[in-house]
Chain A
Amino acid sequence: MSTEITKTTEQQAATATAARENWRRPRYEVNPGKEAYELKVYLPGVSKKGAEVTIQGDEMLVSGRRESIRPEGSKIVHEELSLDDYRLKLQLNVDIDADRIEAQTDAGILTVRLPIAEGSKPRAIKVE
């Protein structure tokens, strides 16, 4: 298990149709919490090295590069798995403290902890 978060400038393809050629949208779950949201993205076949989380403005991009699972010099007998890389683009609705984001991969699942920015937390107002 490891922790890594990569911040790079987003490389965007010219058009959605051109870019979608070889990637697929992974399954994901969001668990809301008081302090942070937990995002789980299912990325089977992606190692720690291949996973990347980028946040730019309110846009979050999760990408996962799959490692080849086909043995060298083998014939395909039967194929059910899609071997495309993963890409998930999400629009954040909540202010996130980008400096404190944590991400880790385990057993093909990428877990990203997105702490809610102080200003966006619900505040109890005292009635005087």
Chain B
Amino acid sequence: MTLFKNSQNYQDPFAGLDALLDHFSRGFRDTFSDAVSGRQIPVNLYATEDAYEVRAEMPGVRKEDVSVEIENAVLSIRAKRSVESGSGAAEFTLARDITVGDDVAADKVKARIENGILSIHLPKREARKPKAIKVA
């Protein structure tokens, strides 16, 4: 016996279309993502005056299972996730590499994870921040 009568949201006329588009885009992403390193982590990138901010979605991933590295202006995020299924737990690695530019102060990068969202704070190097020069 299944728990739910109908897995589709019958009241939403677009649910079917949504599922179809979802399916298409997933196939598209899978084809072009890096098959070796695992699945791509979706990210948002923001910029403020003195820092770059990265936000990545990874529900179910714990602090100890995430690694964030920065080398040669490339930020790499790796996350291990275990998925329990009927027959047991399977583990796979999620990955994402982002080119961040050479103006990041690599030694001041900070990361934290909360509610399945990884936040990375990448401060810009002092020298590259715009500085107002006083005219004497």
Contacts and interface: CB of A to CB of B under 8 A. Distances in A.
Among B2, B13, B116, find the residue whose CB has the most chain A CB atoms closer than 10 A: B116
A71 B117 contact: no
Contact of B48 (A32, A39, A71): A71
B44 interface: yes
A93 B53 contact: no
B98 to A, nearest CB: 9
Contacts, number: 117
B60 A108 contact: yes
Given A80-B42, A81-B42, A89-B11, A94 B3 contact: yes
Interface string B46-57: 111100110101
Most buried by A among B11, B52, B58, B59: B59
Interface of A: 16-17, 20, 25, 30-32, 37, 39, 42-47, 58, 67, 69-71, 73-81, 89-94, 105, 107-109, 114
